[in-house]
A and B are shown apart, each in its own frame.
Chain A
Amino acid sequence: DVVVTQSPLSLPVTLGQPASISCRSRQSLVHSDGNTYFNWFQQRPGQSPRRLIYKVSNRDSGVPDRFSGSGSGSDFTLTISSVEADDVGLYYCMQSTSCCTFGQGTKLEIK
């Protein structure tokens, strides 16, 4: 199984400041079709997960442009350029190149 390690597990951030979450895999997540199927999800308290980013860096419809995904191979990052109160919740990465594995989750809170 593909193991994905997410960090940090807890992320206190000041409103208006940037935030970054990292996920690393022990192996390359490049699919045989040439794509890298790496996704980011947000789970607000009491809600179902919502996908934010797919294929490393593509924002889903309706996702604010303060969210961005980057990375390649086995090393990926979700960046929030300026954290807002609405961003509080859990964030998960997920590789679906070799279906499928989630990271451990990061709890984002406001300082």
Chain B
Amino acid sequence: QLLESGGGLVQPGGSLRLSCAASGFSFSSYAMNWVRQAPGEGLEWVSVISPSGTATNYADSVRGRFTVSRDNSRNTLYLQMNSLRDEDMALYSCARDWHADYWGQGTVVTVSS
């Protein structure tokens, strides 16, 4: 199971940290992704982190503003989002594995003044 949390309302320029709690599988053995879906729009890949956390990658749209991390001792994935923009407003979901074989339900991020 993947359970996201941490979404909410934030002003433009603000920050938010999302969490994804994993259970039922060996979390430390899997890469993990963040994917977002803006209202009425398609899926957009955001970021990926290797099983150990030593390798990360980001979409150009968030690089330099978002940071992905993980705590394998807590079976938890994180996404630190800074300098939030209107266009970051979306449902953010975590997905297991390099190739996104299993997804959580997501947490909603609203960016508005």
Measured in the bound complex, the distance between the Cα atoms of B61 and A102 in whole Å is 14
B25-64 interface (Cβ within 8 A of A): 33, 35, 42-45, 48, 57, 59-60
A68: Cβ under 8 A from any B Cβ? no
- Number of interface residues, chain A, beta carbon within 8 A: 23
Q: How many A-B residue pairs have CB under 8 A?
A: 58
Which residues of A have CB within 8 Å of B100? 39, 41, 49, 51, 94, 96, 100
Which residues of A have CB within 8 Å of B105? 48
Q: Which of B43, B99, B104 contacts A105 (CB 8 A)?
A: B43
Interface pair B106/A105, CB less than 8 Å apart: no
CB of A24 to closest CB in B, whole Å: 16
A50: Cβ under 8 A from any B Cβ? yes
Interface pair B45/A99, CB less than 8 Å apart: yes
Could you list some 12 contacts between A and B, CB below 8 A?
A1-B59, A37-B99, A39-B99, A43-B43, A51-B99, A54-B101, A99-B45, A99-B48, A99-B57, A100-B33, A100-B100, A102-B35
B residues touching A (Cβ–Cβ < 8 Å)?
33, 35, 42-45, 48, 57, 59-60, 93, 95, 98-106
A residues touching B (Cβ–Cβ < 8 Å)?
1, 37, 39, 41, 43, 48-51, 54-55, 60, 90, 92, 94, 96, 99-105
Pairs of residues from A and B, 8 with the lowest C-beta to C-beta distance, nearest first: A105-B42, A100-B45, A48-B103, A102-B43, A96-B99, A99-B48, A51-B101, A49-B103
